[in-house]
Structure 1
Amino acid sequence: MYSHVISSPKTMTLPGLPKATSPLATCTVRIISPNRVLGVPASAFLTPDITGSTTYSDTPCLSFLIEHVPELEASKSPRRILFDLGISKDLTMLHPSIQQAVVDMGISIDTPRDMVEILSDDRIRAENIESVIFSHHHFDHIGNLSLFPVSTTSLVVGPGFKKNFTPGFPVREDNISIPQSTIEGRVIDEVNFANTDNLARPVKEIGGLKAVDWFGDGSLWLLDTPGHAIGHISALVRTTAATSSVERDTWVLLTGDVCHHAGELRPSVHHQLPQQCLGCLAIHPKDCTNQPFYDPAPGPWHLDVDTLKDTTALMQAFDADPDVFVILSHDHWLEGIVDLFPHSANQWKAKGWDDKVRWRFLKDFEGIIEGRGSQ
């Protein structure tokens, strides 16, 4: 059930997606899966509790290598940025209270190699990374930044990061999120979504979200996506540019933790549950074909649930655009479909990844549905 491609074409075109100024105004995105996390309690992040779901029984913490060659620098090496780092191999670097929270949640973490070791598989050295972007400050996204030289790798963060998380612990006692050893002496570039006069990094609105043109050519937009955590940001990356034979650009949207499960995005008013999946209505909390299965759960792991719901609603419009491939940081159903590092994700549309992945999350509910005799 749901292991095949389900016919459910996306027909919505999201207004306001920037047009490419050049065929080279693109980035290469490579998906990295450095971690396995077992036994995460879904109730910590999602509501309602759909008893019997296999959600989070085995989930990744994805990272992404973004590479860009500016038009005027075609002969040079690409500018390389990492979006999130996953979980550090050395958990002792985390604040003791975070280490205890992992124990209390009863989860198991497997990080065979840190990010710099994974990158070396493609002969990419730590000093080749221009910047690391933190979608937010939670431990499963910040990895071990200290392995990247402070002289060559800056840290890019969302609004409020400096105020709330610098200096790091133990220098600042009320900061349990960021070790000072990872940021000491490092350039921290906090994205400014309010400065509309910055010509180097123009700010505009895309799909209702504030966006900063990071490279200045429209290939990488950092999005203000609040609700889950202080300064939470996402990344919208143009993966191919329109040509005379191809009408529209294609994009990859790296959401961070706007959603922890695809059932928070799908179905939606923009893309309803397909006919082949109507058996899932038996366990749908709202018994509705155009509302998602889950909402974000109130609690310590979400900063502002109401704001997060608003952000998720905007994200659903991106998710319904046939030229945008939305990637959640913890979507375990991507694996087995997408190509992982060192391979590129840029040809996601030609390879049909979106169609193959879109409703795969329903497999989390298979046992429940079959037990009720609904399929």
Structure 2
Amino acid sequence: MASLSPTPSFPVPPGLATVQVNIIDSTTRIGKLPLEFLMTPSMDGMQYMPLLPSWSFLIQHASGQKLLFDLGVPSDWHTLAPAVTDKLEARRWDITVEKEVIDVLQDHGVAVEEISGIIWSHWHWDHLGDPSRYPPSTDLIVGPGFKDEFLPGYPSKPDAPVRESDFAGRSLREIDFSNATKVGQFRAHDYFGDGSFYIVDTPGHAIGHLAGLARTTTNPDTFIFMGGDLCHHSGEMRPSTYLAIPQDISSHTTASPTAGIPCPGAAIYHKLQATRGRSWDRPFFDPGMGLDIPEAMRTIEKAQHADGRDNIWFIYAHDPSLLGVVDLFPLSANRWKERNWRERTLWTFLQDFAPAVEALRG
């Protein structure tokens, strides 16, 4: 096996300020979603994606400002725009939502009036929630091209996937990256002006797709990278030229979520990759759904620089590896590194390939 590339560079402007990050379970669960809808090539024994959560993030700044990054699915998704609901009804996926993010916040004493802004990573149905439940003082923050493509929203624009009620009476802020700073190879907007939280331009999957980068500690610096739908499975991100499957893979995983991971070692996964025409240092999958697939793949390659660094924890919106492993809201996620959450969740996705591995073993 060839050697890995050196630890990648992912430069972030220096800063002394942090934000508190809480990972919120939006209670969204999406099942019976065919793998081929989202990713390619196929994987033997993996007809469907694993049951997908949809994470939201509460970002709290020293100024008292509180942001939400993504909202999951509204409790009654039938209230979404017809351009969305008609397709969901035809696809017949299993979609359940116990309570919305706003209810989770209020259950733990965070008043809705405290939320100064909602960041939509993008406009797809499983990230929108219902902003109309938030007061007019809560801004809605979107990515480049959103206004031109979707305003004024449904029903005035009958084919719009977003609703007029989502932004009626509130400030709709579209991030302009023309004079942006840089984090890694990405354009970024320093939201609070102190280096504690960046909104990141991550194009490809959808018009105006955004990510977030939160500084969680200083001296040393650590970050949480909120990836949205930059990928839909860890196998679209890993392995990479910077991050190989460990030879002793069983010692790099947590017992419960990875009980199905076959042993021994990484060799069987390299063989699995070879049978699918892929090398050991490429992700298992490429994106199969999105606005601009080549651009989405370039964005993933840039994000691999962050994913390959042990001071950055990359979390995409639908990552099931967090379930049962990490502390969720109202507990803080800032101490993720000392609690080894990145290492404990990094390779748990390999359990999804157990049937394919067993077939290889014969």
Query: Take 1:156 and 1:256, find their aligned partners in 2: how far apart are those partners?
Result: 14
- Structure 1 110/10 Cα, relative in aligned 2: closer, same or farther at 3 Å? farther
Query: Take 2:10 and 2:239, find their aligned partners in 1: how far apart are those partners?
Result: 20
| TM-score normalised over the length of structure 1 | 0.87
Aligned residue for 1:131, secondary structure, equals: strand
Aligned to 1:40: 33
Aligned residue for 2:361, secondary structure, equals: coil
Aligned to 2:120: 134
Aligned to 1:348: 336
Query: Take 1:57 and 1:270, find their aligned partners in 2: how far apart are those partners?
Result: 26
Q: Residues 18-29 of structure 1: matches in 2 within 5 Å?
A: 18-20=13-15, 22=16, 25-29=17-21
Q: Residues 170-181 of structure 1: matches in 2 within 5 Å?
A: 170-175=155-160, 177-181=161-165
Aligned residue for 1:130, secondary structure, equals: strand
Query: Take 2:342 and 2:5, find their aligned partners in 1: how far apart are those partners?
Result: 10
Aligned to 2:215: 238
Aligned to 1:227: 204
Give 1:254's aligned amino acid: M
Aligned to 1:296: 287
Aligned residue for 2:266, secondary structure, equals: helix
Aligned residue for 2:303, secondary structure, equals: helix
- Structure 1 10/262 Cα, relative in aligned 2: closer, same or farther at 3 Å? farther
- Structure 1 188/31 Cα, relative in aligned 2: closer, same or farther at 3 Å? same
**For 1:156, which of 137, 141, 154 is the aligned residue?**
141
Q: CA deviation at 1:305?
A: 0.2
Aligned residue for 1:257, secondary structure, equals: coil
Cα distance per residue 1:173-216 (max 9 Å; x no partner): 231x111112111101111100x2xxxxxx21221110110000
What RMSD in Å do the two structures reach over aligned CA positions?
Answer: 1.6
Cα distance per residue 1:145-179 (max 9 Å; x no partner): 111011x100011001111111110011231x111
Q: Residues 330-349 of structure 1: matches in 2 within 5 Å?
A: 330-349=318-337
Query: Take 1:283 and 1:89, find their aligned partners in 2: how far apart are those partners?
Result: 39
Cα distance per residue 1:110-146 (max 9 Å; x no partner): 1111111100122011111000000000010011111
Query: Take 1:268 and 1:212, find their aligned partners in 2: how far apart are those partners?
Result: 27
Does 1:60 pair with 2:59? no
Does 1:88 pair with 2:74? yes
Aligned to 2:312: 324
Q: Residues 199-218 of structure 1: matches in 2 within 5 Å?
A: 203-218=180-195
**For 1:124, which of 65, 89, 110 is the aligned residue?**
110
Aligned to 2:251: none
Query: Take 1:93 and 1:287, find their aligned partners in 2: how far apart are those partners?
Result: 42
Gaps of 5+ in 1: 1-8, 71-77, 197-202, 243-247
Alpha carbons 2:272, 2:360 under 8 Å: kept? no
Q: CA deviation at 1:10?
A: 11
Q: CA deviation at 1:222?
A: 0.7
Give 2:81's aligned amino acid: H
**For 2:177, which of 178, 183, 193 is the aligned residue?**
193
Query: Take 2:47 and 2:67, find their aligned partners in 1: how far apart are those partners?
Result: 33
Cα distance per residue 1:77-114 (max 9 Å; x no partner): x2110000000002122122311211222211111111
Does 1:168 pair with 2:157? no
Q: CA deviation at 1:14?
A: 2.4
Aligned residue for 1:136, secondary structure, equals: coil
- Structure 1 358/349 Cα, relative in aligned 2: closer, same or farther at 3 Å? same
Query: Take 1:56 and 1:234, find their aligned partners in 2: how far apart are those partners?
Result: 22
Does 1:311 pair with 2:299? yes
Give 2:170's aligned amino acid: R
Aligned to 2:268: 279
Cα distance per residue 1:41-92 (max 9 Å; x no partner): 111110011121275231101111111114xxxxxxx211000000000212
Alpha carbons 1:11, 1:320 under 8 Å: kept? no
Query: Take 1:26 and 1:342, find their aligned partners in 2: how far apart are those partners?
Result: 18
| TM-score normalised over the length of structure 2 | 0.90
Q: CA deviation at 1:350?
A: 0.3
Does 1:147 pair with 2:142? no
Give 1:100's aligned amino acid: D
Q: CA deviation at 1:232?
A: 0.4
Query: Take 1:60 and 1:306, find their aligned partners in 2: how far apart are those partners?
Result: 26
Give 1:32's aligned amino acid: I
Aligned to 1:6: none
Aligned residue for 2:245, secondary structure, equals: coil
Aligned to 1:267: 239
Give 1:260's aligned amino acid: H
Alpha carbons 1:222, 1:235 under 8 Å: kept? yes
Query: Take 1:231 and 1:164, find their aligned partners in 2: how far apart are those partners?
Result: 10
Give 1:353's aligned amino acid: W
Gaps of 5+ in 2: 248-264
**For 1:16, which of 11, 17, 24 is the aligned residue?**
11
Query: Take 2:8 and 2:41, find their aligned partners in 1: how far apart are those partners?
Result: 31
Q: How many residues are paired up?
A: 339
